[in-house]
Amino acid sequence: MKPILLIDFGSTYTKLTAVDVEGETILGTAQSYTTVQTDINDGLENGLRLLEAKTGKLEFAETYACSSAAGGLRMVASGLVPELTSEAAKLASLGAGAKIVGLYSFQLTEEDLEEIAALKPDIFLLVGGTDGGNTACILHNAQMLAQLEPKFPVVIAGNRTAARQCQKYLEKFETYVCPNVMPKFGVLNIEPTQKQIREIFLNRIIHAKGLSKATALLSDIMMPTPAAVLQAMELLSEGCEGEGGIGDLIAVDVGGATTDIYSIADGMPEGMNTVYKGIPEPFAKRTVEGDIGMRYSVRGILEAAGADRIGHIAGIRPGRVEELVAWLRENTDSVPDGNEELQRLDFALASMAIETAVARHAGTMEETYTMMGLTYVQSGKNLTHVKQIVVTGGSLIHTQRTAEIAKYALFSPAQPMSLRPKDASVWVDRTYILAAMGLISTRYPQQALRIMKKELEYYGYSE
C-alpha cells in the first residue's frame, strides 16, 4: 500500500481524500471547515482526524493540494474587441482555473480603474491586438494600470510588438510576458498564458492567501481547484499511455453559488454546408455561470428558467416557487432533508441549472437561406455527438434522481439550435473525487484514470 493524501481547500470545506495508488482504491474521504482566516492547518488537522477515524492511522507517502479558498484565484482581464481578444483572455483565465471578477474591452477608463482597484485581483491579464496589429489599446491600458494601487502581478499576452513597452510602463508591477493569446485573427494560443497563471498561483498567490502555512506538509503541486478538475476531465476523456479514456465528454458541477461546465471535445463544424463564425474555442474548455447556483445564486436559475417552468417540473404552483426561492436565498445552508416539497423544488432547480449552464457553454447553429440553398452558421462548440456526461454537486449527489436531472443537459427539440449532446451516458461523482484525481493524475495518470472509471457511478445511456 502506498497512501497519498489529496487536499482540496474549498471556500467553506476542506475536503480530504486518501488514495492507495498501488491498490488503486480510495481509502476514505472526509471534510472539515476551512480555517483560512486563522490558521489553515486547524481545519486540515481536524479533517485528518476525521479521515483517520475512518481509515485508521495512515503514513502518507505524498501529499498534494488544490485550493479555491479565500475567494479562489480572482482575475481581471482586459482586451480589445469583446468577441475577439477579450473573449480569448476570458477563455485563457477560466481554463487556468481562475474566477473572472472583471472583464474589460477597448481602452480602460478612469471609472474602470476605480473598479479594478476595488476588485483587488490576484492576477491581471493584459491582452489586445493580434501580433503586428493594434498596439494603441494595450499600451493605453498598460499606462492606465501603471497608476494603480494596489500592485498585483500582470500577465502581458497581447500584441508582441507592444509587450516590452507595456512592461516598461508597468515597471512597478510584477510582470510576465507570454505569447499573444490571439497571434493571428481567429487563432487561439492560450496554453502558455495558462501555464504562467498557474505558476504565479503556485509561487505567489498561495502565500498571499495564507495557504502557505500548510505547505510544510505538501510534496508539490498546488493549483486552483477548477484547474485540477479540468485536468481530471482531460485524462478521463483522452486516456493516457496504457489506459484508454471514455472519449469526448462534458462535465457539470452545480454548486451553491456558481455552476462550472467543462467540455473535452473538438466541436468544429461537421457538414460542408456549415460556416463557422467567431473565435475557435479550446478543445478543453471551461466556463463558469456566476448567476447559476442552488443557493446563493438561486435567483439566477429562476430568472433564466421562469417560475412557470420550474413549477411545472417540480409540481409546485409558480407563486409558491417564488416564495421558496426567496427563502432558499436567505437560508443558504438549508437542505431538503426529507421535506418532500423542497426535494421536488431542488430537483427542478438543479435540472434548470444544468440546462441553462450547458446551453450557455455549448455552441449554437443558425439556419440561413442563401442562393446555394440552406446553409448553417455555427458559433461555439458543436457538442451534439458527445456521448458522456459527468455530473457532481450537492443537489445531484444527494438524490437518486441524478440521471433524470442530468438529462436536462441534453439536446432539446424546444431549442433545436442549441448544440448539446443528442444522447449520452451519465457518470456521477458522488464522493467529490474529481479534483483529487486531477491532482494525482500529474504523477499517476493510469491509476487516477482507473480509480475514476471505478468510482464514478455509471448510468448507461440516458434515453
Partner 1 sequence: MTADKKKVLVIGVIGADVHAVGNKILYHAFTEAGFEVVNLGVMVSQEEYIAAAIESNADAIVVSSLYGQGELDCRGMREKCDEAGLVGIPLVVGGNIVIGKQQFEDVERRFKDMGFDRAFPPGTAPETTIAALRELLHMDGETV
Of residues 71, 132, 244, 271, which one binds partner 1 by CB under 8 A? 132
Counting DSSP H helices and E strands in the chain, the numbers are: 16, 21
Of residues 29, 135, 382, 402, which one binds partner 1 by CB under 8 A? 135
Residues between 197 and 256 with contacts to partner 1, criterion CB under 8 A: none
Q: How far apart are the first and last CA of the chain?
A: 41
Nearest distance in Å: CB 82, partner 1: 8
Does 421 engage in binding with partner 1 (CB under 8 A)? Answer: no
Of residues 371, 413, 414, 463, which one binds partner 1 by CB under 8 A? 371
Q: Please report the DSSP string for 110-179 in residue order.
A: HHHHHHHHHH--SEEEE--S-TTS--HHHHHHHHHHHT-SS---EEE-S-HHHHHHHHHHTTTS-EEE--
Q: Which is nearer to partner 1, 101 or 279 (CB)?
A: 279
CA 163 to chain centre: 29
Distances 172 to 117, 135, 165 between C-alpha atoms, Å? 15, 21, 13
Region near partner 1 per CB under 8 A, out of 124-132, 197-205, 329-337, 419-427: 124-132
**Type and span of the H or E element at 109:** none
Of residues 28, 72, 133, 226, which one binds partner 1 by CB under 8 A? 133
Residue 333 per-residue DSSP state: T
Place of cell 440552406: 374
Q: What is the C-alpha separation between 227 and 198, in angstroms, rounded?
A: 9
Region near partner 1 per CB under 8 A, out of 128-136, 147-155, 165-173, 334-342: 128-136
Does 375 engage in binding with partner 1 (CB under 8 A)? Answer: yes
Does 368 engage in binding with partner 1 (CB under 8 A)? Answer: yes
CB 68 within 8 A of CB 209: no
Backbone angles phi, psi at 234, to 5 degrees: -65, -40
**Beta strands 259-264 and 373-379: pairing type?**
unpaired
Of residues 59, 333, 338, 370, which one binds partner 1 by CB under 8 A? 370
CA pseudo-torsion sign 235, 236, 239, 242: positive
Place of cell 494525482: 440
Q: Which is nearer to partner 1, 59 or 369 (CB)?
A: 369
Residues between 269 and 328 with contacts to partner 1, criterion CB under 8 A: 275, 277
Does 89 engage in binding with partner 1 (CB under 8 A)? Answer: no
- Secondary structure class of 18 (helix, strand, coil): strand
Of residues 28, 72, 121, 129, which one binds partner 1 by CB under 8 A? 129
Does 413 engage in binding with partner 1 (CB under 8 A)? Answer: no
CA 12 to chain centre: 17
Region near partner 1 per CB under 8 A, out of 122-130, 204-212, 287-295, 393-401: 122-130
Q: Which is nearer to partner 1, 11 or 161 (CB)?
A: 161
CB 16 within 8 A of CB 444: no
Query: Binding marks (x or -) toward partner 1, 93..112, rule CB under 8 A?
Result: --------------------
Does 165 engage in binding with partner 1 (CB under 8 A)? Answer: no
Does 185 engage in binding with partner 1 (CB under 8 A)? Answer: yes
Does 164 engage in binding with partner 1 (CB under 8 A)? Answer: no
Region near partner 1 per CB under 8 A, out of 131-139, 206-214, 225-233, 411-419: 131-139
Q: What is the C-alpha separation between 89 and 127, in angstroms, rounded?
A: 7
Does 377 engage in binding with partner 1 (CB under 8 A)? Answer: yes
Region near partner 1 per CB under 8 A, out of 32-40, 126-134, 217-225, 351-359: 126-134
Backbone angles phi, psi at 400, to 5 degrees: -90, -5
Q: Which is nearer to partner 1, 136 or 208 (CB)?
A: 136
- Secondary structure class of 64 (helix, strand, coil): strand
- Tell me the number of residues near partner 1 by CB under 8 A: 24
Does 81 engage in binding with partner 1 (CB under 8 A)? Answer: yes
Q: Which spans of this chain sit near partner 1 (rule: CB under 8 A)?
A: 80-81, 83-85, 128-130, 132-135, 182, 184-185, 275, 277, 368-372, 375, 377
